Structure 1
Amino acid sequence: MIFSPLQPGDRIAVVAPSSPFDQEKFLRACKIMENAGFGISPGKHIFCKKNYLVGTEAERAEDLIRAICDPSISAIICIRGGYGSGRMLPWLPFSTLKKTPKIFLGHSDITFLHLAFQCKMQWITFHGPNLIDLDMVPERLESVLKTLRGKNDFSWNLNDFEILRKGRATGFLIGGNLTCLTHLLGTPYFPDLTGAVLLIEDCNEALYRLDRLLAHLKLAGILQRLAGLVLGRFKDCGEVTKIWETVMESVQPFHFPVVANLPFGHTFENEVIPFGIPFNLDTRQGILRPVELPFRNSTPRWVDFSRS
């Protein structure tokens, strides 16, 4: 699956698979995208509300299905995470949706969709800012648009202090929010992580809860299948060195490389990274980079590993 890069004039669907959102932030973010030359197509039910959810599962699923099946839509951006996307998975006709792949962007609770799309449709998806994260942050918008236009090598340098365990690995990259990922275990929507490079991040989880999540992955036989582990940011989860120590204790019996502090998660520095394509993780060279790129006519510039 290789995508055509977005071009000015393309239409972007915005959907709300999870929690209600600040409407003023939403409107400002849409205006920013329109000023950048893109048409915005909001889901029909995005302003519906049912307790802590955007409408019912059927309504949220309908908006996502319409966006995926609409041939005039080039990309889909989730408005917000929060909670709720996991509840709509049984409402999605994956065998039908698989025929019309779209650029799909989001993070946090959207992890449920990233994993299900990989499991059921083998889609390449993009982990990165939700729409309201782009509100009043020009730098973040510029970075996202650069990526969706096919001008991002998806390559990151690794500093020495970010290398928790040395090694080399090649495997398809997948993951997202640790809490959401762990909640999918035992369901038909959890992909096979054998040989994968797993990326995890989280927000507002106490250290003992992170430990419990990691223990769950270990007891379920997930950690032992991995080729590598990439830690994003753990916002408001306690002292970062203790988090890294907890992770290393969990993976101590295994031998794959582990790197940390990469710019993915619930922080300002939440860069876009594709899920579902193979990545090389090499601590000797100090790089994390894809084996192939997800956009047509994209030429890797491996001499430039900047995070800008």
Structure 2
Amino acid sequence: MKRLFPLKSGDTLGVCAPSARFDIEKLNLGIQILENLGFKVKVPKEIFKKKRYLAGDDMLRASVINNLFLDPDIDGIICARGGFGAMRILDHLNWKRIKQNPKPFIGFSDSTAILLSIISETGTPVIHGPTVVSFATAQKETIDSFYKILMGSFDKIEITNGQIIKPGECTGVLKGGNISTISHLLGTRFQPDFKDSILFLEDIGEPAYKIDRMLTQMKMAGLFKGIQGVITGVFKDCDNDEYIEEILSEIFDPYNVPILSGLDSGHGKVNLPLYMGIDIEMDTKKIAKIHWI
């Protein structure tokens, strides 16, 4: 899979809300930051609907995404926030339309369900990166790297404070995201295929034993067969996070692949964007780094 054409100043980002309801004040702050970066922002009125904890019913949330992909004036699509709800709309997304109108789709956390499904259903790469609401409190490093990746100039990350759990070099398609969301796709037709992939994992608010349980389930389901490497992001507010490296070592040791933890991507203070669905090189021998090919 080849990366999408980079965007340019003045291009339009469409906002979707595939998951939970959001704070309107934070949304507006995030929109202001996107506009300060030089993007136009289109906010469909439908995303302000409410149903329980969701941003409207399933068909409505899906139709916003379908329409943004079809709209020729939209150059990229960014999620309002995460939470829960993205997997509920997977059956309502128009995969043929999405494949015929490729454009950057950006989100993380609960949006992992859509990111991985776009890759598998259409062959289109995606961006695991900040949502509009998260921009309201984003640090400069997050904002700058987001701009660079959309402009096509963010090709390498050196992980200076990471932990090399198992050294080595590998090449593969970068895929992954939120562990909890991935685990709930098991047994569905949207279960991801990680063969020949470098697997990225992150989560928030999950104690170590739950991360252990979810990874063990994935392993027993055969989800990790054929992986080329593992890199983990932030495990924010996870009880007993001092156990995480040991858990990762135990889970992935049978696959004899490089394992690196500590990438500033996910729910931490810094959320570096990751181009997923295309090949990267990962090196953990000397300076821990990943490089998009």
Distance 1:226 1:181 in 2: 15
Deviates more, 1:135-144 or 1:104-113: 135-144
Deviation at 1:291, TM superposition (A): 4.5
C-alpha change, 1:158 and 1:221, in structure 2 (3 Å) is farther
Matched-pair contact (CA < 8 Å) for 2:280–2:291: yes
Kept in 2: contact 1:277–1:290 (CA 8 A): no
Instruction: Note the residue ranges of structure 2 that are not aligned, 5 or more in a row.
Output: none
CA distance in 2, matches of 1:241, 1:36: 38
* Alpha carbons of structure 1 residues 21 and 98: separation in structure 2 relative to 1, 3 Å: same
Q: Offset of 1:217 from its aligned partner?
A: 1.0
> 1:1-308 residue pairs with structure 2 within 5 A?
1-137=2-138, 139=140, 140-157=142-159, 162-292=163-293
Distance 1:26 1:162, change over 3 A: same
SS of the residue 1:135 aligns to: helix
Paired letter, 1:52: Y
- Taking structure 2 as the reference length, the TM-score comes to 0.94
- SS for the counterpart of 2:254 is coil
Pair 1:137–1:251, CA change in 2 (3 A): closer
What's the CA shift for 1:172? 0.3
How far did 1:128 drift? Answer: 1.0
**2:155–2:292 CA contact under 8 A, matched in 1:** no
Deviation at 1:275, TM superposition (A): 0.5
Q: Is the 8 A contact 1:154 1:273 kept in 2?
A: no
- What code does the residue aligned with 2:154 have? N
Q: Say if 1:185 and 1:238 are closer, same or farther in 2 by CA, change over 3 A.
A: same
**Comparing 71-80 with 37-46, which one deviates more in the overlay?**
37-46
Q: Distance in 1 between matches of 2:292 and 2:8?
A: 24
One-letter amino acid of the counterpart of residue 205, structure 1: E
DSSP-derived class of the 1:247 partner: helix
* Cα deviation digits, residues 96-144 of structure 1 (max 9, x gap): 2201111111100000001111110111100111111111546132331
Give, as a single letter, the amino acid of the residue that structure 2 aligns with 1:145: Y
RMSD: 1.6
CA contact (8 A) 1:43 1:64 kept: no
Q: CA deviation at 1:31?
A: 2.0
Secondary structure, aligned partner of 2:225: helix
The one-character-per-residue Cα deviations of 1:216-275 (angstroms, maximum 9, x if unpaired) are 011011223211111111011123331111121222322111100111110111100110
Q: Secondary structure at the match of 2:46?
A: coil
| TM-superposed deviation, 1:158 | 5.3
Counterpart CA distance in 2 for 1:10 and 1:66 is 17
Percent of residue pairs bearing the same amino acid type: 35
Cα deviation digits, residues 269-299 of structure 1 (max 9, x gap): 110011011111122243433342xxxxxxx
**Is the 8 Å Cα contact of residues 78 and 107 (structure 2) preserved in structure 1?**
yes
Q: What code does the residue aligned with 2:69 have?
A: I
